[in-house]
Chains A and B, each alone.
Chain A
Amino acid sequence: METEGRLTRLASCAGCGAKVGAGTLVRLLEGFQTRGDPRLIVGYDRSDDACVYQINEHTALVQTTDFFPPIVDDPYLFGQIAAANALSDVYAMGGEPRLALNILCLTDQMDQKTVQEILRGGYAKAYEAGAVIAGGHTIQGAEPIYGLAVTGFVHPDRVLTNAAARPGDALILTKPLGVGILTTAAKADLVEQPVLERLYAQMAALNKTARDIMVRYPVHSCTDVTGFALLGHSYEMAQGSGCSIHLEAAKIPYHPEAYELAEMGFIPAGAYRNREYAGAEVKVGPAVTRALEDICYDPQTSGGLLMALPEGAAEDCLARLRETIPQAAVVGRVTERQAAAIYLD
């Protein structure tokens, strides 16, 4: 049996756009009782990328899971992107992924070749990351899903949470924005193939290189920019750190094609959920256009790392990053807490 039609047509929403809104999550989990453990360094009570559990004085486990419906039609590419996205949460904590499990949901329309290609894409990325996929779990469902549960390691003293940015830090972002807008417009065949190729390569790229460079610098705080967009994830960093974040619109890297497509209304529903979640705490300056604001609320699939480090170290770190990641940019800075959590000017 052959897979019928385009893989993305089997899904109701794409990639990290499928993520339940942060506001909805907060409401759903309100009052939910959990048990602590002194060895749990980062846990359920924090809006972080992964949990961290200390094993001994030298080693802590980093655990995370991430999965979503197809964001591209090529199953091998979908596997690569889903795996790169899942592995990224370990990198965002400053860790190194070592072991992973497949999470797979199949529909009746998918043939054996499609399934094998998805898994092959996942294995390729795990291998590139230095991790091994040791098993997994597969169910039958209404739409395809693929992702990983990932275990990594980090030194307990070098855990990078999203809640430790300090006033005086600069913020570096390592991948350009606009993924959600472009993949939404691609469904209307409004994105040229070379642009899509660029986008696919970006989504399949591991945040490993960025992480490996980052850990050589005095980085205070890190997260990866995914479903909650630059503004949602910055908001969580600002709230968790008790600081304010000032983003400079002119410095934020994005795919230029996303700008007009945002003006044309090819904006994923997730962007509106992100606006609902963080909008009240985001103060937007008069010079920022609506389209650029939309790009900053746009959910990213397998987005880049957002790291906070002392301004004095940022320039050197950025130069090192740019040797292999030319799109990396300083996008803002951290200040003492002011009236709003985020300022976008």
Chain B
Amino acid sequence: MEKLDARGLSCPEPVIMIRKAMLSGGTGYEMTVDNTASKENVTRYAQHEGYTVTVAEKDGEYTLTMTK
């Protein structure tokens, strides 16, 4: 599971980050974001690429686990 930290980044940077990572063809990623727009957008991107996404929230931060 590759871990990515996108805290402090605003759209579209977190999506660009996960896109770059997924282009390498991995099967599992965990990304932390700190705003709802990024949470939604990264979820959308991962689902579009065929990943299953689960989201855990803690103290205003979201950890997205993306697998396929």
Contact = CB atoms under 8 A, between A and B. Distances in A.
Contacts of B42: 265
Nearest to A17: B11
A261 B24 CA distance: 20
Contacts of B44: 262-265, 267
Given A12-B10, A268-B11, A187 B16 contact: yes
Contacts, number: 46
B44 to A, nearest CB: 3
Contacts of A12: 10
Interface in A256-314: 262-269, 271-272
A276 B51 CA distance: 27
A188 interface: yes
Interface residues of B, number: 16
B35 interface: yes
Nearest to B18: A265
A110 B53 CA distance: 42
A248 B36 CA distance: 28
A188 B15 contact: yes
A294 to B, nearest CB: 9
A61 interface: no
Nearest to A271: B37
Most buried by B among A265, A269, A271, A272: A265
Interface in A1-32: 12-13
A12 B16 CA distance: 15
A19 B24 CA distance: 36
A266 B10 contact: no
B68 interface: no
Given A272-B36, A272-B37, A272-B40, A265 B15 contact: yes
A185 interface: yes
Q: Which 3 A-B pairs have the closest CB atoms?
A: A265-B44, A265-B41, A269-B37
